[in-house]
Amino acid sequence: MAVSKNFGSKRLVVGAHYGTLDFIAQRITAVILALYTIVLLVGILVMPGSTYENWRALFSFHVFALPLGQMLVTLAFVSLIWHAWIGVRDIWMDYIRPVGVRLLMQVLTILWLVGSLVYFAQIIWRL
């Protein structure tokens, strides 16, 4: 009688192996977004008035000739895109069974996220 060795370090693992790395990535992006939200709220609270120039300065300030405001908002937006991709991809993988429809939804999601990133970059880096 053959004994199955489907346990321990030699067990047969199937699937795409997304679990742990995506879990960690989603937690890291969530922390980045939370920290940026706090920085943004503090910036809004200390902003002297709600004028276009003040809002522009909130996102385009420089530190030692480094566009730190634009770099921080870009980091936050890339984190948002990555966080959204992981979440939406998992929703498509869990709830859409036909492979063709799932692939279509994933491609449309990628196109939407990349388009949003390009549009964001055009706006924020023209300040």
Q: Is 120 helix (H, G, I), strand (E, B) or coil?
A: helix
For residue 66, what are the β-bridge partners?
Answer: 63
The response to whether 62 counts as a known ligand-binding position is no
DSSP of 54-105: HHHHHHS--BTTB-HHHHHHHHHHHHHHHHHHHHHHHHHHHH--SHHHHHHH
Q: Is 83 annotated as a binding residue?
A: yes
- Residue 62 and residue 25: Cα distance in Å, rounded? 29
State the distance between the two ends of the chain, measured CA to CA, in whole angstroms: 73
Q: What are the binding residues?
A: 83, 95
Q: What are the binding residues for heme?
A: 83
Q: What are the binding residues for a ubiquinone?
A: 95
